[in-house]
């Protein structure tokens, strides 16, 4: 990789360029806006793919570093050796880098963003504003997995919040305002808690650098109660995003109201920030506390898994089925993290990527169905395989992927997460979780078979199947799901070094 | 592993259906007419390679192909290997053979279906998964193909997707077998936890060397058996198989009679090194098998759908195979699996020809079809006689081998198995007399009935010949076939009294059902209002119980979760949100812009930041 070309900066800045370009395009130029809308994410995807191709799989260190000074300030820090405060210059650069944990997420983000931009092609209302916010969201998503210090992470994280708020509030369904508000209040509170923890972490370690904190915090002499409090506050802050029961109700509302292309990104990428934070911060900063609290996290995972699963089984609306399914699948991520071994962590990251792809595919198809039939209610649909065989066939494929059919990505993720948890002290929780394998099949097939199989309603007899352009994102996402499912080493190889590094710190 | 021979043959068997699956997926409806021939050709190539593999291993050797490494880190190594042992060679030939014949038959049977390309695409997927399952060397590989087999079965059951009954049957099949599959999922994890390896051979080695605790071995065996119970329709997970008859009839022949449902039997036979170390697991297998054999046979007595009679019969016969496995005879189980694949596939194909001709599954409106379809009738009668176990047909030898294997040590199981012979003869006799003999009950349908076209008759001829000769497969003079069965271990030979007893019971059942159908004697199950009849008709109320109790409980949990969400959690958060908005509006009273709610939170955050900074400065 040539050092002269700041690849990661280019990746993050590409959507910024997109925003600038869109800003100068008159809003009546719908066609041009749409073209820009998919070209920019395509360029970003090429950068991400380039990063994957040049990633050094041997190294656990962050790679392809790019850094610019943002600001610096002088801050008093307590120095125990002289029992006094010393003033320290703290610089906060915009530091980006990629390691084995961020690489799969960056790639998945770039792919899902690209595909959702293609899915927007049928959108007609206020395109200019839409793409402005979409690119803003994209900036946040591209940056959040690459940020090397907490301030930069937080800035990117907040960008996604702002962008998603507007995308939901302006472009959503009938209940969009309520949904956007619920989203903002709960995520705002989560951000608040997160920021509080970050500030205290800075207080304790004197640095905003993630790696610096990860190295210093376990060794620092800190009041155990404070440390435990920080641990759980961080779990709560990230638990809003993941989401963890009972912090999940905002997520259902966004899933129900936001436009499908946005939900693709929300369910596919944004939820993963919570999962990423769990590994990067909770596990990365508190490796010494993890063994003690892992069973509790596993238990939260079990609640997510079963609660989401059973709730999804009775939902009358496809959107809500998929939303609860997301909740359920995030339980698998918690399983993987709580396992505290390579298998589990591998499973958690696989699940993040896999669910990102599958969820994006589900909502892509849902958007196409909604646009054609005007509804996502299961009882108003049925027999769609007759009039839209491609869409219905892909929906069945996505459902099978989501319920963990082997040779597709969801299975290998679930398998590793379960394997990890079974090999940990929390194995009884994993045993209870096996029920989830049955219930996920039941809710996915119930919803999808009622939609695509059975007699066709007369009101939908005239709807059309996918157009050639619409087929592209479907097949690309499906191909990625099959690739990971059939050849999981495509993810596991770049992940290994970083995961071993993360795990090496546990208990020590 | 003794006598391992490096070979590319195992992959050569698996690859052709993969190619045809990909081809049919890519080309789809553009090649409607060619789809059937592509699929048939692929399975024929597989069959030829499978035969070559069979001759290569008939001396007891194992073919080992290069594995594909798909996932590797630490102890985890998911390498898709392909081995062919004598056991798997038999299974490969049976699967590829029946699959080929069913492919050819389907060209005629599905000719008028607009989605014929999709049908053959699914059929190729099934064949691929089934062959892959048989050659698996790694637990994950085994599980992958095991589930893909189930998925292909699910897709084919629901092939006629517009019919709610087909949809419900597909759903039921997937969910019920999935419950069993969780057992295999857990077994695979348990095996890894104990041996730190996902290679099946490592598990066998650990079990045989005594490295695993006895209760771990039993647990492993029972988890594997749970999966087998699901796939092979054994009690209490038998409920999906009769409903699976909603699929096209050739699919019923291939998947739900000859091969996939036998995969459970194959799985237990394949993992027998584990079962062999656990007498209690063996006893469970034998007991479930014997019970299922007689239990399913009783339900077959009252069915009026010809395919459902055959479906319950399949469940019952699979019970026989499980019984033989439990009693310790892999040879008898696989022998019966093979002959059953032939005669049951033939029964289904013949039944398909009948359904094709008269346009209904209901045996009570058929009658006298032997005159109209003599070839079909002749093969059906021969296959039915093989199922009943009359000499010298294939079923006679294999069934007696199963019965003979239970004689040492399993008297109760033996009794149940012998009684099943009588029941089998009774329900098959009832079908025979109702469908092919006597008077036509529906003159219109009878007049329109005709013999099936050659493309459908030819596979029936091949199967028919196999039904006539397969009884000799364990005899040494059959060459490689005999040797390969011999490599599975000694197959017990039934003593003469047993052969006489089962033959007499078979004839008794046939005669009894003949008299019943003619009305010459009062039939014990002739009156639909009787409690016994109702009980069998309602399938012992087991399906009803599952739907109400298990399905109802899941829905109840779901409604509860949703209510908690709506009433408790949402209410809580709405309270917090309202409080925030009120405070936000106050703080933002001067502004009043559109994004005030966001401002509210941002401001709140800023305040907290300032407080924290202020607190931290205090010490200076």
B70: helix, strand or coil = strand
**Percent of chain A residues past pLDDT 90, beyond the cut:** 54
The pLDDT score that the predictor gives to residue B58 is 85
What Cα–Cα distance (Å) separates residue A391 from each residue in A364, A368, B88? 10, 8, 39
Indicate yes or no: CB of B573 within 8 angstroms of CB of A249. Answer: yes
Q: Which of A415, A429, A437, A500 should be substituted to probe chain B, the one whose Cβ sees the most B Cβ atoms within 10 Å?
A: A415
Q: Smallest Cβ distance to B554: which of A415, A442, A452?
A: A442
The count of other CB atoms within 10 Å of the CB of residue B604 is 17
Q: Is A291 on the interface with B (CB under 8 A)?
A: no
Indicate yes or no: CB of A314 within 8 angstroms of CB of B617. Answer: no
Distance of alpha carbon B315 from alpha carbon B295, whole angstroms? 9
Strand stretches in B380-487, DSSP E: none
Indicate yes or no: CB of A342 within 8 angstroms of CB of B73. Answer: yes
Distance of alpha carbon A502 from alpha carbon A284, whole angstroms? 6
As beta bridge partners, residue B110 has none
Q: What is the pLDDT of residues B78-133, one digit of tens each?
A: 999 999 999 999 999 999 999 999 999 999 888 888 888 999 999 999 999 999 99
The pLDDT score that the predictor gives to residue B609 is 62
The answer to whether residue B328 scores a pLDDT higher than 60 is yes
Q: Is A386 on the interface with B (CB under 8 A)?
A: yes
Task: Give the closest residue to B319 by CA, choosing from B302, B333, B301.
Answer: B333
Q: Smallest Cβ distance to B597: which of A181, A189, A313?
A: A181
Nearest residue of A to residue B571 by CA position? A249
When computed from its CA atoms, the radius of gyration of chain A, rounded to whole angstroms, is 22
The number of angstroms, rounded, from the C-alpha of B145 to the middle of its chain's C-alpha atoms is 12
Distance of alpha carbon A480 from alpha carbon A475, whole angstroms? 9
The pLDDT score that the predictor gives to residue B365 is 85
Q: What is the pLDDT of residues A219-236, one digit of tens each?
A: 888 888 999 999 999 999
Q: Which of A163, A342, A454 should be substituted to probe chain B, the one whose Cβ sees the most B Cβ atoms within 10 Å?
A: A454
In the numeric block, which tokens belong to residue B346? 């033939």
The pLDDT score that the predictor gives to residue B607 is 64
In the numeric block, which tokens belong to residue A70? 């943002």
Q: Smallest Cβ distance to B612: which of A196, A311, A488?
A: A196
Q: Which residues of B touch A165 (CB under 8 A)?
A: 598
Q: What is the pLDDT of residues B521-545, one digit of tens each?
A: 777 776 777 788 888 888 888 888 8
Nearest residue of B to residue A183 by CA position? B577
**Percent of chain B residues past pLDDT 90, beyond the cut:** 51
A:293-312 residues touching chain B, CB 8 A cutoff: 306-307, 310-312
The pLDDT score that the predictor gives to residue B619 is 42
Q: Smallest Cβ distance to A184: which of B182, B598, B620?
A: B598
- The per-residue pLDDT of chain B, averaged, comes to 87
Q: Is A154 on the interface with B (CB under 8 A)?
A: no
B1 contacts: CB under 8 Å, gap ≥ 6: B62, B64, B201
The pLDDT score that the predictor gives to residue A473 is 92
B554 contacts: CB under 8 Å, gap ≥ 6: A310, A313, A439, A442
DSSP B491-542: PPPPPHHHHHHHHHHHHHHHHHHHHHHHTSS--TT--TTSHHHHHHHTGGGH
* CB-neighbour burial class of residue B608 (10 A; exposed 0-12, middle 13-18, buried 19+): middle
DSSP B187-206: HHHHHHHHHS--BHHHHHHH
Q: What's the rounded mean pLDDT across residues A243-270? A: 89
Q: Smallest Cβ distance to B174: which of A246, A445, A492?
A: A445
CB of B382 within 8 A of CB of B475?
Answer: no
The pLDDT score that the predictor gives to residue B428 is 93
Indicate yes or no: CB of A76 within 8 angstroms of CB of B581. Answer: no
Whether residue A278 has a cis bond before it, omega within 30° of 0: no
The pLDDT score that the predictor gives to residue A1 is 43
Backbone CA torsion sign across B418, B261, B1, B203: negative
Backbone CA torsion sign across A124, A130, A135, A140: negative
A:444-483 residues touching chain B, CB 8 A cutoff: 445-446, 449-450, 452-456
Distance of alpha carbon A40 from alpha carbon A46, whole angstroms? 10
Distance of alpha carbon A78 from alpha carbon A81, whole angstroms? 9
CA angle (B192 as vertex; B189, B197 as ends), nearest 5:
145
Bridging pattern class, strands B4-6 and B62-73? parallel
Q: What are phi and psi of A365, to 5 degrees?
A: -70, -40
For residue A189, the distance in angstroms to the closest alpha carbon of chain B comes to: 8
The pLDDT score that the predictor gives to residue B595 is 54
Query: Which ipTM score applies to this complex?
Result: 0.93
pLDDT top residue among A277 and A218: A277
Task: Give the closest residue to A279 by CA, choosing from A145, A188, A156.
Answer: A145
Q: Of B44-48, B398-402, B558-562, B582-586, where does the model show the most confidence?
A: B44-48
For residue A490, the distance in angstroms to the closest alpha carbon of chain B comes to: 8
The pLDDT score that the predictor gives to residue B620 is 39
DSSP H or E segment with residue B612: helix B596-617
Q: Which residues of A touch B116 (CB under 8 A)?
A: none
Residue with tokens 């016969």, as numbered in its chain:
B317
Indicate yes or no: CB of A411 within 8 angstroms of CB of B144. Answer: yes
Distance of alpha carbon A293 from alpha carbon A227, whole angstroms? 12
- The per-residue pLDDT of chain A, averaged, comes to 89
Residue with tokens 């994004």, as numbered in its chain:
B595
Q: What's the rounded mean pLDDT across residues B310-333? A: 93
Q: What's the rounded mean pLDDT across residues A116-124? A: 79
Q: Is A252 on the interface with B (CB under 8 A)?
A: yes
- Residue B599 pLDDT grade (very low, low, confident, very high; cuts 50, 70, 90): low
The number of angstroms, rounded, from the C-alpha of A123 to the middle of its chain's C-alpha atoms is 24
The pLDDT score that the predictor gives to residue A135 is 93
Nearest residue of A to residue B146 by CA position? A406
The pLDDT score that the predictor gives to residue A504 is 83
Q: Which residues of A touch B563 (CB under 8 A)?
A: none
Indicate yes or no: CB of B175 within 8 angstroms of CB of A405. Answer: no
Nearest residue of A to residue B574 by CA position? A182
The pLDDT score that the predictor gives to residue B3 is 79
Q: What is the pLDDT of residues B505-524, one digit of tens each?
A: 999 999 988 888 887 777 77
DSSP state of A455: P
Q: What are phi and psi of A219, to 5 degrees?
A: -90, -20
Q: Which of B601, B603, B611 should be substituted to probe chain A, the one whose Cβ sees the most A Cβ atoms within 10 Å?
A: B601
The answer to whether residue B21 scores a pLDDT higher than 70 is yes
Residue with tokens 């770049």, as numbered in its chain:
A494
Backbone CA torsion sign across B512, B516, B520, B524: positive
A106: helix, strand or coil = helix
Indicate yes or no: CB of A191 within 8 angstroms of CB of B185. Answer: no
Task: Please state at what angle helix A176-205 crosses helix A249-257, rounded to 10 degrees.
Answer: 130
Q: Is A343 on the interface with B (CB under 8 A)?
A: yes
* CB-neighbour burial class of residue B305 (10 A; exposed 0-12, middle 13-18, buried 19+): middle
Indicate yes or no: CB of B608 within 8 angstroms of CB of A195. Answer: yes
What Cα–Cα distance (Å) separates residue B311 from each residue in A42, A338, B16, B456? 53, 45, 30, 21
The answer to whether residue B220 scores a pLDDT higher than 60 is yes
The answer to whether residue A281 scores a pLDDT higher than 70 is yes
As beta bridge partners, residue A90 has A73
Distance of alpha carbon A362 from alpha carbon A452, whole angstroms? 13
CB of B285 within 8 A of CB of B275?
Answer: yes
A166: helix, strand or coil = helix
Q: What order do you get walking across the sheet with B4-6 strand by strand?
A: B4-6, B62-73, B76-84
DSSP state of A282: I
What Cα–Cα distance (Å) separates residue A148 from each residue in A35, A209, A495, B523? 33, 6, 18, 83
Distance of alpha carbon B334 from alpha carbon B330, whole angstroms? 6
Q: Smallest Cβ distance to A419: which of B189, B555, B605?
A: B189
Q: Give the number of beta-carbon pairs within 8 Å between A and B.
A: 177
Q: What is the pLDDT of residues A386-397, one digit of tens each?
A: 889 899 999 999
The answer to whether residue A507 scores a pLDDT higher than 60 is no
Q: Of A214-218, B132-136, B409-413, where does the model show the most confidence?
A: B132-136
Nearest residue of A to residue B596 by CA position? A181
Nearest residue of A to residue B609 by CA position? A196
CA angle (B412 as vertex; B410, B416 as ends), nearest 5:
115
Q: What's the rounded mean pLDDT across residues A174-192? A: 87
Q: What's the rounded mean pLDDT across residues A107-131? A: 86
Backbone CA torsion sign across A468, A474, A480, A484: negative
């Amino acid at each position: 990789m040539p050092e002269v070309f700041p690849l990661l900066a280019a990746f993050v800045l590409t959507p910024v360029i997109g925003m600038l370009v869109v800003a100068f395009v008159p809003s009546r130029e719908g066609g041009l806006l749409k073209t820009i809308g998919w070209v920019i994410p395509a360029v970003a995807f090429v950068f991400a793919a380039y990063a994957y191709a040049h990633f050094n799989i041997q190294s656990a260190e962050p790679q392809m570093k790019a850094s610019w000074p943002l600001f610096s300030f002088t801050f008093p820090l307590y120095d125990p050796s002289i029992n006094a405060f010393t003033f320290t210059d703290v610089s906060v650069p915009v530091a980006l880098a990629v390691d084995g944990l961020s690489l799969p997420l960056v790639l998945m983000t770039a792919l899902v963003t690209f595909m959702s931009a293609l899915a927007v092609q049928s959108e007609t209302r206020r395109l200019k504003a839409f793409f402005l916010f979409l690119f803003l969201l994209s900036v946040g998503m591209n940056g959040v997995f690459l940020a090397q210090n907490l301030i930069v992470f937080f800035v990117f994280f907040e960008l996604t919040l702002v962008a998603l708020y507007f995308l939901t509030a302006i472009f959503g369904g009938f209940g969009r305002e309520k949904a956007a508000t619920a989203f903002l209040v709960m995520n705002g509170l989560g951000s608040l808690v997160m920021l509080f923890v970050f500030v205290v972490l800075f207080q304790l370690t004197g640095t905003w650098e993630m790696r610096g904190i990860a190295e210093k915090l376990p060794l620092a002499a800190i009041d155990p109660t404070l440390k435990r409090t920080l641990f759980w506050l961080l779990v709560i802050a990230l638990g809003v995003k993941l989401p963890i029961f009972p912090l999940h109700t905002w997520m259902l509302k966004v899933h129900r109201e936001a436009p499908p292309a946005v939900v693709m990104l929300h369910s596919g990428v944004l939820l993963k920030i919570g999962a990423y934070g769990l590994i990067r911060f909770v596990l990365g900063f508190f490796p010494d506390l993890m063994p003690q609290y892992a069973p509790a996290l596993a238990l939260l995972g079990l609640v997510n898994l079963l609660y989401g699963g059973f709730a999804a089984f009775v939902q009358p609306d496809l959107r809500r089925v998929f939303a609860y399914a997301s909740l359920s699948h995030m339980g698998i991520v918690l399983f993987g993290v709580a396992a505290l071994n390579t298998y589990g962590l591998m499973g958690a990251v696989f699940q993040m990527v896999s669910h990102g792809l599958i969820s994006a595919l589900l909502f892509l198809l849902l958007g196409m169905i909604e646009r054609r039939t005007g509804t996502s209610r299961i009882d108003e649909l049925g027999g769609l395989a007759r009039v839209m065989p491609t869409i219905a066939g892909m929906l069945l494929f996505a459902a099978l992927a989501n319920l963990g059919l082997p040779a597709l990505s969801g299975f290998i993720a679930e398998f590793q997460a379960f394997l990890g948890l079974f090999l940990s002290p929390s194995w009884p929780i994993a045993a209870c979780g096996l029920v989830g394998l049955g219930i996920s099949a039941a809710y996915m097939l119930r919803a999808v078979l009622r939609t695509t199989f059975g007699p066709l309603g007369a009101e939908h007899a005239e709807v059309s199947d996918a157009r050639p352009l619409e087929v592209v994102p479907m097949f690309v996402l499906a191909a990625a799901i099959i690739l990971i499912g059939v050849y999981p080493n495509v993810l596991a190889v770049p992940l290994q070094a970083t995961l071993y590094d993360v795990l090496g710190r546990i208990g020590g | 592993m003794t006598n391992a021979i490096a070979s590319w043959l195992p992959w050569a068997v698996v690859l052709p259906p993969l190619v045809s699956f990909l081809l049919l997926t890519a080309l789809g409806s553009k090649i409607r007419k060619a789809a059937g021939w592509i699929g048939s050709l692929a399975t024929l190539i597989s069959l030829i390679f499978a035969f070559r593999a069979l001759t290569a291993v008939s001396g007891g050797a194992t073919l080992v192909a290069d594995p594909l490494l798909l996932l590797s880190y630490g102890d985890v190594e998911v390498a898709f290997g392909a081995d062919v042992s004598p056991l798997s060679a038999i299974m490969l030939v049976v699967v590829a053979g029946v699959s080929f014949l069913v492919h050819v038959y389907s060209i005629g049977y599905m000719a008028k279906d607009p989605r014929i390309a999709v049908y053959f695409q699914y059929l190729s997927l099934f064949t691929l998964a089934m062959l892959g399952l048989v050659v698996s060397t790694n637990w994950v590989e085994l599980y992958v193909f095991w589930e893909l087999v189930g998925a292909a079965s699910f897709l084919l059951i629901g092939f006629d997707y517009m019919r709610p009954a087909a949809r419900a049957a597909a759903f039921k099949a997937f969910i019920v077998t999935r419950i069993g599959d969780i057992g295999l999922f857990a077994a695979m994890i348990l095996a890894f936890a104990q041996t730190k390896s996902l290679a099946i051979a490592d598990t066998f080695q650990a079990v045989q060397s005594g490295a695993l605790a006895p209760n771990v071995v039993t647990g492993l065996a029972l988890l594997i058996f749970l999966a087998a119970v699901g796939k092979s329709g054994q009690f209490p997970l038998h409920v999906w198989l009769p409903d699976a008859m909603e699929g096209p009839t050739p699919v019923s022949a291939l998947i739900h009679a000859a091969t996939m449902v036998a995969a459970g039997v194959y799985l237990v036979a394949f993992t027998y090194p584990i079962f062999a170390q656990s007498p209690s697991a063996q006893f469970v297998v034998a007991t479930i098998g014997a019970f299922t054999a007689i239990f399913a046979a009783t339900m077959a007595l009252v069915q009026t759908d010809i395919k459902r009679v055959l479906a319950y019969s399949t469940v019952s016969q699979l019970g026989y195979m499980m019984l033989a496995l439990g009693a310790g005879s892999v040879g008898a189980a696989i022998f019966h699996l093979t002959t059953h694949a032939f005669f049951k596939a033939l029964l289904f194909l013949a039944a398909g020809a009948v359904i094709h001709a008269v346009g209904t599954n209901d045996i009570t409106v058929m009658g006298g079809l032997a005159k109209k379809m003599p070839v079909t009738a002749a093969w059906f009668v021969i296959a039915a006689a093989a199922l009943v176990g009359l000499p010298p047909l294939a079923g006679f030898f294999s069934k007696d081998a199963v019965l003979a294997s239970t004689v040492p040590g399993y008297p109760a199981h033996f009794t149940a198995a012998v009684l099943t012979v009588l029941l089998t003869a009774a329900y098959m006799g009832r079908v025979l007399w109702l469908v092919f003999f006597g008077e036509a009950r529906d003159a219109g349908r009878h007049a329109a009935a005709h013999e099936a076209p050659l493309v459908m008759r030819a596979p029936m001829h091949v199967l028919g010949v196999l039904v006539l000769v397969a009884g000799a497969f364990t005899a040494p003079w059959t060459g490689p076939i005999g040797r390969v069965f011999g490599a599975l271990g000694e197959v017990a030979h039934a003593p003469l009294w047993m052969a006489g007893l089962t033959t007499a019971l078979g004839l008794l059942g046939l005669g009894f059902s003949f008299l019943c159908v003619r009305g010459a004697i009062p039939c014990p199950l002739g009156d639909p209002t009787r409690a016994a009849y109702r009980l069998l008709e309602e399938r012992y109320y087991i399906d009803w119980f599952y739907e109400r109790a298990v399905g109802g409980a899941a829905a109840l949990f779901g409604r509860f979760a949703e209510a908690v969400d709506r009433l408790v959690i949402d209410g809580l958060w709405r309270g917090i949100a309202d409080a925030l908005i009120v405070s936000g509006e106050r703080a933002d009273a001067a502004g009043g812009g559109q994004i005030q709610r966001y401002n509210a939170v941002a401001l709140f955050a800023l305040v907290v930041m300032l407080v924290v900074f202020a607190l931290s400065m205090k010490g200076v």
